[in-house]
Amino acid sequence: MWSIRNRNWFFTVACGCWCFQLVKAQQSKHIDTPEVLLCDELCEFSAWAMHAYCGERMLGDLPLQCREVKTLDVRLNDIHSLKSGRLSEFDNLKYLFLVGNNMSEVEDGAFEGCEGIQFLSWGGNNFTRLTRSKFVGLRNLMHMLMDNSNIREIETEAFIETPLLKTLDLTGNKFISPPCDVVHPQNVLTDLSLSDNFISILPEGCFSRFQNLERLKLSNNPIRLITNLSTFEGLHSLKKLEMDNTSLTSLPVGSFRHIHTVNEFVLSRNLIKVLEERDFATLPEVEVLRLDHNHIHAIHSRTFVDLQSLRLLVISNNKIMSIGLHAFIPVETTLEELYLDGNELRSIHNISASSIRSLKNLSLARNPLECHCHLSTFRHSTSGMEQGGASVTCRKSNGVEVNIFETTLTATPCPKPTPGPVNPRARIGPTNKPTMPIYGETTEQLETNELSTSQQNIFYVLIFLMVLTVMLGCALLVWWILRVKMRKNRKYSKPVEDNNNVKDKSDNYDVI
Ligand SMILES: *[C@@H]1O[C@H](CO)[C@@H](O)[C@H](O)[C@H]1NC(C)=O
Ligand SMILES: *[C@@H]1O[C@H](CO)[C@@H](O)[C@H](O)[C@H]1NC(C)=O
Ligand SMILES: *[C@@H]1O[C@H](CO)[C@@H](O)[C@H](O)[C@H]1NC(C)=O
Ligand SMILES: *[C@@H]1O[C@H](CO)[C@@H](O)[C@H](O)[C@H]1NC(C)=O
Ligand SMILES: *[C@@H]1O[C@H](CO)[C@@H](O)[C@H](O)[C@H]1NC(C)=O
Ligand SMILES: *[C@@H]1O[C@H](CO)[C@@H](O)[C@H](O)[C@H]1NC(C)=O
């Protein structure tokens, strides 16, 4: 009997202890995690959009109390590692921002169970090397931004795990060669940025897997030379290629022979010295070509021969002294904007603006132009675009620099206008009266009249006043002579009888 009672007591105590422990454990768990706060107490939370902004809150981990959200923004916190299984608790997650967390550890399978994520922005972290297993689970990811994250390497075919990836931003990392083989041959990537890396090596066939790529950025890399001519092979859909500030010194023949579809090509801020014959062969669809801030001093006559679609050409801020004769003739029906400002051009004889029939904007500012007949060609073709022409100056034979709109370019043996259809854009503004033919094509240097238009106007007014004065004087003289004659006639023909009659008679006389 005693032993049974004793046993019951023992069980009661044990059970009580266990329950106490359980409650205590539960309590301590609640205190340890920040789950005491609701999502809208911890973050800026919109229940309507299912959007939580939890940036800059010194969080060390993902806030599980926001596990219902569609958009989770935990940028600029201290989430240094991404633990496996943690993200899968966010069932509705579609847009995830993990930017700027100094994150260096991503556990394998960290994204497992995250099939809903379409957009992942996690630049500004510290990854160094990424393997394929990190991306498992991102089956529906479409856009991934991983800029400025110290990445040197990504495992071969790592993005097999993200078959729907369209945008990949790897700007500002540590690549020395593009990650050529990270995508599956059947990928759908359209946008790739590799700007601001340390890329100097472009292996043969590097982009052969990027058949759907439309925009490729390689700006701000020390590329210097393209020696592997099949580097760009396979880029069958490329529309825009940006290679500005890549230390290129020339465009080796055939460098771009594999890309036929590009319509915007940016080569600004390189070290290119000459535009050779057919440098842009095989690029018939280029509409926009930017070559500003290079060291170009000469353009070959046949450079643009194959650019049948060229609409905008920027060659500002180079050292251009010579442009091959009729270099722009191949693009005369398509070119609308031509920027040649900040060069070393003395004459525009070879480009004679009136020959580029489609031209709408032409900029020639900051060139050491000589005041010459051809400039009036430019002046008239730019009468609709004063903005570009307003600052164009030319130097007269005596060295004085004048604005081309404020000087009169007179021509002693002025070239005859070539017969043919009149350029409809060569309208004549009220201030720039033509004092010479417009469509001159010869090279004779012409003298510049010293008088400005306003001075000329004053001169004409003075002449007019003088002529008027002389004519008035003559008229007065004639009137006086006639009057004297009349008086004489009256004296001898009729004797004076009555003052009143005299007046009537003289009136009658006048009438007769
Ligand atoms: C990032 O974390 C590393 C350690 O993982 C540390 O050495 C470094 O100072 C941190 N950088 C910043 C900007 O917090
Ligand atoms: C990245 O991590 C390394 C250590 O893994 C650290 O030395 C370095 O300072 C970190 N870089 C940044 C920008 O925090
Ligand atoms: C050319 O490609 C080969 C491999 O295909 C590579 O080793 C070499 O560095 C590349 N050269 C340049 C200048 O990119
Ligand atoms: C050009 O690229 C270098 C690095 O290659 C960078 O330091 C520099 O700021 C860039 N210049 C411009 C104007 O972007
Ligand atoms: C005009 O074209 C001819 C022939 O291509 C060339 O020799 C000359 O240097 C060019 N002149 C200028 C000013 O560009
Ligand atoms: C080009 O000309 C158009 C009008 O013809 C003008 O609106 C536009 O601003 C010009 N572009 C530049 C860069 O000056």
Q: Hey, whose CA ends up nearest to atom 8 of ligand 2?
A: 126
Domain end, chosen from 169, 199, 229, is at 199
Distance, CA of 231 to CA of 214 (rounded, Å): 16
Neighbours of 341 (CB within 10 A): 21
Ligand 6 probe mutation, 385, 386, 425, 427, most atoms within 8 A of CB: 385
- Same structural domain, 314 and 195: no
Task: Enumerate residues 6+ apart whose C-beta is below 8 A from 481.
Answer: none
Distance, CA of 127 to CA of 15 (rounded, Å): 50
For the CA of 384, the closest atom of ligand 6 is 5
Structure tokens at 92: 């509705």
- Same structural domain, 184 and 41: yes
Q: Hey, whose CA ends up nearest to atom 11 of ligand 6?
A: 361
Indicate the SS3 state at residue 199: coil
- Same structural domain, 158 and 41: yes
Distance, CA of 322 to CA of 315 (rounded, Å): 13
Centre of ligand 6 from the C-alpha of residue 361, in Å = 6
Ligand number with the minimum distance to the CA of 181: 3
- Same structural domain, 308 and 440: yes
Whether 128 lines ligand 1, by a CB cut-off of 6 Å, is no
Distance, CA of 217 to CA of 197 (rounded, Å): 11
Distance, CA of 378 to CA of 352 (rounded, Å): 7
Task: Enumerate residues 6+ apart whose C-beta is below 8 A from 320.
Answer: 296, 297, 298, 299, 340, 343, 344, 345
In a domain, 82, yes or no: yes
Instruction: Please state the φ and ψ torsions of residue 374, each to the nearest 5 degrees.
Output: -65, -25
- Same structural domain, 45 and 152: yes
For the CA of 269, the closest atom of ligand 4 is 13
Please check whether residue 55 is in contact with residue 32, taking contact to mean a CB–CB distance below 8 angstroms: no
Centre of ligand 1 from the C-alpha of residue 125, in Å = 10
Specify the pTM.
0.76
Q: Hey, whose CA ends up nearest to atom 6 of ligand 2?
A: 126
- Residue 347 is part of a domain; what is its CATH number? 3.80.10.10
Distance, CA of 347 to CA of 320 (rounded, Å): 11
Q: Hey, whose CA ends up nearest to atom 7 of ligand 5?
A: 324
Please check whether residue 380 is in contact with residue 409, taking contact to mean a CB–CB distance below 8 angstroms: no
For the CA of 226, the closest atom of ligand 3 is 13
- Same structural domain, 111 and 195: yes
Closest C-alpha among 191, 185, 118, 119 to residue 156 = 185
Q: Hey, whose CA ends up nearest to atom 10 of ligand 6?
A: 361
Q: Hey, whose CA ends up nearest to atom 2 of ligand 3?
A: 203
Q: Which residues line ligand 2 (CB under 6 A)?
A: 102, 104, 126, 150
Please check whether residue 278 is in contact with residue 307, taking contact to mean a CB–CB distance below 8 angstroms: no
pLDDT at site 381: 57
Using alpha carbons, list the distances in angstroms from residue 79 to 238, 241, 386.
Answer: 38, 36, 56
Neighbours of 90 (CB within 10 A): 22
Q: Which residues line ligand 5 (CB under 6 A)?
A: 301, 322-325, 347, 349-350
For the CA of 385, the closest atom of ligand 6 is 5
DSSP state of 104: -
- Same structural domain, 55 and 167: yes
Which residue range is the domain that position 144 belongs to?
A: 26-199
In a domain, 410, yes or no: yes
Neighbours of 234 (CB within 10 A): 19
Domain end, chosen from 158, 175, 199, is at 199
Please check whether residue 99 is in contact with residue 122, taking contact to mean a CB–CB distance below 8 angstroms: yes
For the CA of 345, the closest atom of ligand 5 is 13
Strand partners, 53: 44, 73
Neighbours of 437 (CB within 10 A): 15
Centre of ligand 6 from the C-alpha of residue 253, in Å = 33
Centre of ligand 5 from the C-alpha of residue 450, in Å = 29
* Count of CA atoms in the C-beta half-sphere (13 A) of 23: 6
Q: Hey, whose CA ends up nearest to atom 10 of ligand 4?
A: 220
Indicate the SS3 state at residue 142: coil
* Count of CA atoms in the C-beta half-sphere (13 A) of 35: 11
Q: Hey, whose CA ends up nearest to atom 10 of ligand 1?
A: 102
Centre of ligand 2 from the C-alpha of residue 148, in Å = 12
Task: Enumerate residues 6+ apart whose C-beta is below 8 A from 475.
Answer: none
Centre of ligand 2 from the C-alpha of residue 126, in Å = 6
Please check whether residue 179 is in contact with residue 205, taking contact to mean a CB–CB distance below 8 angstroms: no
Task: Enumerate residues 6+ apart whose C-beta is below 8 A from 104.
Answer: 80, 81, 125, 126, 127, 128
pLDDT at site 402: 84
β strands within 451-493, DSSP E: none
Q: Hey, whose CA ends up nearest to atom 13 of ligand 1?
A: 102
Centre of ligand 1 from the C-alpha of residue 99, in Å = 14
How many domains does one find in the chain? 2
Per-residue pLDDT of the chain (512 residues; tens, 9 = 90+): 445 555 665 555 454 445 445 444 444 443 344 556 889 999 999 999 999 999 999 999 999 999 999 999 999 999 999 999 999 999 999 999 999 999 999 999 999 999 999 999 999 999 999 999 999 999 999 999 999 999 999 999 999 999 999 999 999 999 999 999 999 999 999 999 999 999 999 999 999 999 999 999 999 999 999 999 999 999 999 999 999 999 999 988 888 888 999 999 999 999 999 998 888 988 999 999 999 999 999 999 999 999 999 999 999 999 999 999 889 989 989 999 999 999 999 988 888 655 777 888 888 889 998 887 777 766 665 544 545 556 788 888 888 888 877 776 655 333 544 433 334 333 333 333 333 333 333 323 333 333 444 556 666 767 778 878 878 876 888 787 788 777 776 655 544 444 444 344 344 444 33
Q: Which residues line ligand 4 (CB under 6 A)?
A: 220, 222, 245, 269
Distance, CA of 50 to CA of 60 (rounded, Å): 22
pLDDT at site 455: 57
Helix, strand, coil share (%) of the chain residues, nearest 5? 25, 15, 60
Domain end, chosen from 151, 180, 199, is at 199
Distance, CA of 30 to CA of 244 (rounded, Å): 55
In a domain, 72, yes or no: yes
pLDDT digits (tens, 9 = 90+) for 345-398: 998 888 865 577 788 888 888 999 888 777 776 666 554 454 555 678 888 888
In a domain, 217, yes or no: no
Strands 143-145 vs 153-154: parallel, antiparallel or unpaired: unpaired
Q: Hey, whose CA ends up nearest to atom 10 of ligand 2?
A: 126
- Same structural domain, 42 and 165: yes
In a domain, 493, yes or no: no
Centre of ligand 4 from the C-alpha of residue 290, in Å = 17
In a domain, 383, yes or no: yes
Q: How many distinct helices (H) and strands (E) make up the chain?
A: 6, 25
In a domain, 250, yes or no: no
Q: Hey, whose CA ends up nearest to atom 9 of ligand 1?
A: 102
Whether 104 lines ligand 1, by a CB cut-off of 6 Å, is yes
- Which residue type does 216 have? L
- Same structural domain, 185 and 328: no
In a domain, 159, yes or no: yes
